[in-house]
A = this chain, B = another copy of it.
């Protein structure tokens, strides 16, 4: 068993959670003028997958992108500064939450559904052509598979046996629309399967299983067996965009949300971590405070950071 890996995954999840909880607590202050899609409840996916990556691998993400940014070790100061529109942000205030990136850590997000899927395939094509041992990973939601570009990209990747891992975070909803009004009842990982594709489904809230699954898939992808698809069953706890709860809005029940809160991936891994003696409850609490404090510090630092100069508006258009 890989104690270090689980510990890292756990710490990453904790860091994502504490960072996003900070956003929750300050979003109403209107310092973050950027529509923000929180990953609270879905942290295990990014944390476990990224744990299995190498530093040079590339990661492409949808609108719900904070978790992957943080899991890859994206800079926290640059994160809060970007959300606050400051020039110290990772994109100097141009991108906001939805187009978040860490060029250093090879993470790029776009909120157009499905948009990053072919980009990941193109990255993988370049690795293949240049015979580099890198892989591309793309995270997307259950709605992105409804975009035609998904199947086009999958076909191309399978055809060329490209090193790309497709990770579908199936949280059962697209905004407020349940899967049942968008797709037939069969599971996504079966429906999108083609005979030549490695396609799996896993509990997206079980970091241990998730990590085992990706640890099996990724070496195969990397060594040239072709792409793999992984459907992770998970759940978004907060509203689609913004920091609030929304179970009073009619599209899902409080019971449903609560049942998923009980399956909290952090809680679950925490039990495992403490049970295995990898960390103690106290150590964890300390870490929780540490990440929380770091988030607060980065946020405060962002607020003291300068705004972009108006006359830089046209920079980097060409």
Interface residues of A (CB under 8 A from B): 146-152, 155, 158-159, 181-186, 190-191, 194-196
CA distance A191 to B192 in the complex (A): 9
What is the count of identical protomers in the complex?
Answer: 2
Interface hub of A155, A181, A184 (most chain B Cβ within 10 A): A184
**The residue from B152, B182, B185, B190 contacting A148, defined by CB atoms under 8 A apart:** B152
Is there an interface contact between B159 and A183, defined as CB atoms closer than 8 Å? yes
Instruction: Report yes or no: B195 in contact with A191, Cβ–Cβ below 8 A.
Output: yes
Q: Are B159 and A182 in contact (CB under 8 A)?
A: yes
| Interchain CA distance A113-B185 in the complex, whole Å | 29
Q: Which residues of B contact A146 (CB under 8 A)?
A: 152, 155
Q: Which residue of B lies closest to A188 (CB)?
A: B194
CB distance from A44 to the nearest CB of B (A): 27
Q: Which of B151, B190, B196 contacts A151 (CB 8 A)?
A: B151
Question: From residue A115, how far is it (CB to closest CB) to chain B in Å?
Answer: 12
A261→B92 CA distance, assembly (Å): 65
A159 and B184 in contact (CB under 8 A), knowing A191-B194, A195-B190?
Answer: yes
